[in-house]
Structure 1
């Protein structure tokens, strides 16, 4: 097995992102006795010690990267890493957050992402301090899980259509303040806005999105909140409500975008998701070592 791992470490495949005509490069690295894979988007003008965003895909999703996020990375000067999840008992790639078919997965996601972050930052000379996580659906669930179990692993987290499971909520008090964002449709039938205490969806029991977000805000000791409403990008009859919890001792905010009538999606037809996520992350950028 060790010989196999060593022989595979240098393997690289090239995948083309049609939206921006730039190559996405896929890499392999050894994790325990397995080979895990991730793809990288590296802007042409990327500087040394640049920020890193790790994007975690949805459960069994074929969408492994986001061309809009790549375009934002090109403009703003950060790298994007797209790791591939591990298969569960159904053969679906994902992140272990407590779904019933994931019971057999022997993975500590906090440890895996700590190792992945070190691999990527070392290999591409990126900033460990200015590393962020954004995820969709199962990847958003992971953002909540890591915010509760390993909040210092990333500088900030952004979940889209993600959930906070009751087991995580009840058994893992937030140990420290962490900037957090949620973008969620209130008509999402997969990750329901109102929660699913009775596990009718089969994913496990999870709490309502407003409660999950307010839990993060309470842990951050946010003392103020404001609410703004504006129309969605493509349908002026539907609205987006952004609630920001702020004025905390740490200076870490919590934001939630409620998409009226929004289904289970990345919501690019409703808001400028990629730029919204990066604007949130950019508030927490630390000075690079070169600027100190």
Structure 2
């Protein structure tokens, strides 16, 4: 018995001397955890990572898709011939009307935006709204009051636009201080929502035939606004309400209320000043706004629900000819 005790004591001393003392019970219960953690980390390291966006190296037309909010979203981009990767270039995001799509907005027969971007020297982007159709046609934007399934399903169009801007800033040399939004009808309404929620991105916005239907708006910085509207618009009525030809029959905010709201949001103290008057159209501006912002309204007497200087998609009748929306908008953007 004595020899057994002595042998046990000697063995314990040998173990301790070799630094092989038994680990605490709590550690003994978790011997595999470090190995499991290392295995999981190694597996994560080997997992394929999303590829970085490939830079655009040639001018012309490009199409891309990305996943956002559980949806595959698409957009087109036109890069003008004068693009130089060494020089930051301004970028304009142009949003189609409700029931349209990016291909219609990019069609020069209707809007002339691609040729204008070539002439003026800016990147123009045509995102696509959401649609029940695989083709992406008959798409809408979630702009607050309007429109369609994008509004009804509360689609995250602001997040989608953020993703598009981030994607393109990795593909092209874009000037972050000269990113603008413009849109027709429902696309113009979305532009107002972007001014409310993405004032950190957009220096100015322009809306054609689309008033501000956001339920609340608190931009983080002043955003210059240009609004273009026809007095005889039968879809988004100049004085508000539901137009007789409106597909949504929404109670649209009036043009005067929209412009007054943005004058307040931008802290514009000066009274409106007439800056253009031609047969069939006039423009007035509110300046002396915070941060050098401006709120400008241009009105055509005729043209209905259309893009001045372009052609109506439905029936292809010409829009108002007294002014050119493309020229007015780019002049407004380029002075920011």
TM-score under structure 2 normalisation?
0.70
Q: 1:35 to 1:253 in 2, by over 3 A?
A: same
- Give the drift of 1:99: 3.1
The within-5 A match list for 1:1-292 is 23-47=60-84, 48-61=87-100, 63-67=104-108, 68-87=112-131, 92-97=138-143, 98-99=145-146, 101-102=148-149, 103-165=151-213, 168-169=214-215, 171-196=216-241, 201=246, 202-224=248-270, 225-231=272-278, 236=279, 239-268=280-309, 269-284=321-336
Moved over 4 A (4+): 197-201
Structure 1, residues 60-103: CA drift from partner, whole Å, max 9, x if none?
A: 225221533222322222100111111159x7312112336324
- Give the drift of 1:152: 2.3
State how far apart, in whole Å, the 2-side matches of 1:105 and 1:27 are.
Answer: 24
| 5+ long unaligned stretches in structure 2 | 1-49, 310-320
- Give the drift of 1:203: 4.1
Alignment: residue pair count: 259
Show the counterpart of 2:26.
none
- Give the drift of 1:160: 0.5
Confirm or deny: 8 A CA contact 1:88 1:105 kept in the other structure: no
Show the counterpart of 1:16.
none
Q: What SS does the corresponding residue of 1:44 show, helix, strand or coil?
A: coil
Q: What SS does the corresponding residue of 2:206 show, helix, strand or coil?
A: strand
Show the counterpart of 1:14.
none
Q: 1:111 to 1:100 in 2, by over 3 A?
A: closer
Confirm or deny: 8 A CA contact 1:156 1:179 kept in the other structure: yes
Structure 1, residues 180-239: CA drift from partner, whole Å, max 9, x if none?
A: 0001001000011000179995343222101101210122111222114533xxxx4xx2
State how far apart, in whole Å, the 1-side matches of 2:190 and 2:94 are.
Answer: 11
Confirm or deny: 8 A CA contact 2:200 2:220 kept in the other structure: no
| 5+ long unaligned stretches in structure 1 | 1-5, 11-21, 285-292
Confirm or deny: 8 A CA contact 2:235 2:245 kept in the other structure: no
Confirm or deny: 8 A CA contact 2:146 2:186 kept in the other structure: no
Structure 1, residues 227-282: CA drift from partner, whole Å, max 9, x if none?
A: 14533xxxx4xx21201000123110010101112300001123121121111001
State how far apart, in whole Å, the 1-side matches of 2:288 and 2:147 are.
Answer: 39
Aligned-residue Cα RMSD (Å) equals 2.8
State how far apart, in whole Å, the 2-side matches of 1:112 and 1:146 are.
Answer: 11
TM-score under structure 1 normalisation?
0.79
Confirm or deny: 8 A CA contact 1:118 1:128 kept in the other structure: no
Q: What SS does the corresponding residue of 1:55 show, helix, strand or coil?
A: strand
Of structures 1 and 2, the one scoring higher in RCO (CA 8 A, sep 6+) is 1
Structure 1, residues 92-134: CA drift from partner, whole Å, max 9, x if none?
A: 3121123363244242222111111011121122223311101
